[in-house]
Structure 1
Amino acid sequence: MSIKTNVMTGKDFKFPQLFLRLAISVTMLSAVADRFGFWGKNSAWGNWENFENYTRQLTFFLPENLSVFSAYAATFLEILFPLMLIIGLKTKIAAYGTGFLLLVFALSMSISLGIKAPLDYSVWVGIAAAFLLATQKEFYFSIDILTKKS
Structure 2
Amino acid sequence: MNHKAIKLFLRLALSLGFLSAVADRFGMWDEEISVWGNWENFLGYTELINPWVPDSIIPAIGTLATAAEVIFAIFLIIGFKTELFAKLSGFLLLLFAFSMTFSTGIKGAFDYSVFSAAAAAFALSLMKEKYLELDTLIFKPKN
Q: When the two structures are superposed, what TM-score results if normalisation uses the length of structure 1?
A: 0.89
CA RMSD in angstroms, aligned pairs only: 1.2
CA deviation string 1:61-85 (max 9, x = no partner): 0111222211000000010001000
* 1:15 match: 5
Q: C-alpha separation between the residues in 1 aligned to 2:91 and 2:130?
A: 20
* 2:51 match: 60
Counterpart of 1:139 in 2: which secondary structure?
A: coil
Are residue 102 (structure 1) and residue 96 (structure 2) matched?
Answer: no
Kindly state the Cα deviation for residue 130 of structure 1 after the two structures are TM-superposed: 0.2
- For structure 1, list consecutive stretches of 5 or more residues without a partner in the other structure: 1-7
- For structure 2, list consecutive stretches of 5 or more residues without a partner in the other structure: none
* 2:29 match: 39
- Superposition map of 1:46-85 within 5 A: 46-85=37-76
How many residues in Structure 1 have an aligned counterpart in Structure 2? 140
Counterpart of 2:80 in 1: which secondary structure?
A: coil
Letter in 2 for 1:33: A
Equivalent pair of 1:58/1:108 in contact (CA under 8 Å): yes
* 1:27 match: 17
CA deviation string 1:6-61 (max 9, x = no partner): xx9xxx32111101100110011000000000002120000000000000001110
Q: C-alpha separation between the residues in 2 aligned to 1:138 and 1:71?
A: 34
Percent identity, please. Answer: 49
Letter in 1 for 2:22: V
Q: C-alpha separation between the residues in 2 aligned to 1:142 and 1:38?
A: 28
Q: C-alpha separation between the residues in 1 aligned to 2:89 and 2:107?
A: 21
Equivalent pair of 1:138/1:145 in contact (CA under 8 Å): no
CA deviation string 1:117-141 (max 9, x = no partner): 1001100110000000001112310
* 2:136 match: 145
Letter in 2 for 1:134: S
Q: Which has the larger radius of gyration?
A: 1
